[in-house]
Structure 1
Amino acid sequence: MHLGSITPILRIFDETKALEFYVGFLGFKVDWQHRFEENFPLYLQVSSGACVVHLSEHHGDASPGAAVRIQAEGIDAYQQQLLARDYRYAKPEVEETPWGTREMSIKDPFGNRLVFVEEGKG
C-alpha cells in the first residue's frame, strides 16, 4: 500500500472572515469554490505552495477547533510578512520547542489552529 498526501477540512462559519484570514493575512490563494445552489454553504480549497486546505461551511464536514501542523521553511521571514500585514486578530510569534523545532501557531477566526513547523538546524 502507498499513502498519499492528506488534505485537512477545516470548519468555517463566515466566508468574508475566512477569506480575510486565509487569503488576505496568510497569503493563500483560492483554487476553487463550490456551492450546491445559491445561498447554500460554501466549500472551497485554498493553497500556498504544496500546502492545501479545504474550508467548509457545511455542518457535518468538520468540527471547529481542529489543529493542523504544516511543514515550513523560512518561518522567520513568513512571520515578518504576517506582522507587516497588521492583521488585527493575530500577531504570531515563533517559538523554539524542547523537541528541536521552531513553530508559529495561529488560530483562525473559527478556533482552528494552524501550526507552521520548521525543523531544527541541528
Structure 2
Amino acid sequence: MTTVDQAKAMAKRLRAALAARDLAVPHATALELVAAGLGHDDWNTACAALDRIGEDEPRFLETVPILRIFDEAKAREFYGGFLGFTSGFEHRFEPGLPLYMEVARAGLRLHLSEHHGDASPGSTVFVPMTGIHAFHRELTDKRYGYARPGIERAPWGDVLEVADPFGNRLRFCERRAG
C-alpha cells in the first residue's frame, strides 16, 4: 500500500516532470492529482486512507498461518488434491525427521508442520477471498470423499468452511458490500 510519504514524493516528481515541460503547477495541485491517480476524491481523503508507516518503521506484509499436520500423504491429498494448492518449499532437518512445508494458491500461503511445537491441531484460519461460489463449485465437482462443504450466509459475508484431516479449519469468506 502506498504511504503518505510515498504519495508526497510522487507529487514532487510530478511537479518536476511538468516543470520540465514548462507547465508550472502548485504543490497543492500536484498532491490533488496524485490523490486522484490513487483513486481518492482529494488529498485530504487520500491522507486519511493512505498508510502512515514511514520507510524506516516496521511493516507487517502478510500473515502466513502454520497448521499442524500428522501425515504427509494425507496433507498432500487434502491441500493439493482437494483444495488445489501447490507445494512450495519443503524442509526436514534430515531424512526421516518431521516435515515443514509451504502450500500456496491464489495469493494464500500456508505453512504445514509435522513438528510438535509449531502449532496446535484444531486451529481455525479465516481467509477473506473473492470468487467463493466458483471455489465451492470446484470443490463440489471433485466429489472428495471426506468433505462436501456448503456455503453459509453470515451477516459479514458468504462463508465456506473446510476441515483438514488434522482438525484444522479453513474458513473462507467473501465479504458482502456494506
TM-score, normalised via structure 1 length? 0.96
Measure the CA separation in 1 of the matches of 2:108 and 2:128. Answer: 9
Q: How many residues align?
A: 121
- Per-residue deviation at 1:100? 2.8
Establish whether residue 33 from structure 1 lines up as the match of residue 93 from structure 2.
no
CA distance in 2, matches of 1:78, 1:47: 15
Secondary structure of the corresponding residue to residue 117 of structure 2: coil
For 2:124, the aligned partner's letter is A
1:51-90 superposed Cα distances (whole Å, 9 cap, x missing partner): 0000000000000000001111110110010011111110
Distance 2:73 2:143 in 1: 17
CA distance, structure 1, for counterparts of residue 167 and residue 132 of structure 2: 22
Alignment map for 1:68-83 (pairs within 5 Å): 68-83=125-140
1:93 maps to which residue?
Answer: 150
In 2, the alpha carbon distance for the partners of 1:92 and 1:121 equals 23
Shift of 1:112: 0.2
Deviation, 1:2, is: 2.4
Aligned to 2:166: 110
Identity %: 48
One-letter amino acid of the counterpart of residue 107, structure 1: A
Query: 1: CA distance between counterparts of 2:127 and 2:84?
Result: 14
Distance 2:96 2:176 in 1: 46
1:31, distance to aligned residue in structure 2 (A): 0.8
Structure having the higher helix fraction is: 2
Unaligned 5+ segments in structure 1 are: none
Task: In structure 2, list runs of 5 or more residues that go unmatched.
Answer: 1-57
User: Aligned-pair RMSD on alpha carbons?
Assistant: 0.9
The structure that has the greater radius of gyration is 2
Matched, 1:119 2:178: no
Where do 4+ consecutive residues of structure 1 move more than 3 Å?
none
Deviation at 1:18, TM superposition (A): 0.2
Following superposition, the deviation at residue 17 of structure 1 comes to 0.3
Q: Aligned equivalents of 2:147 and 2:82: distance in 1?
A: 9
Q: Answer 1 or 2: higher relative contact order, Cα 8 Å, separation at least 6.
A: 1
Distance in 2 between the 1:36 and 1:118 partners? 38
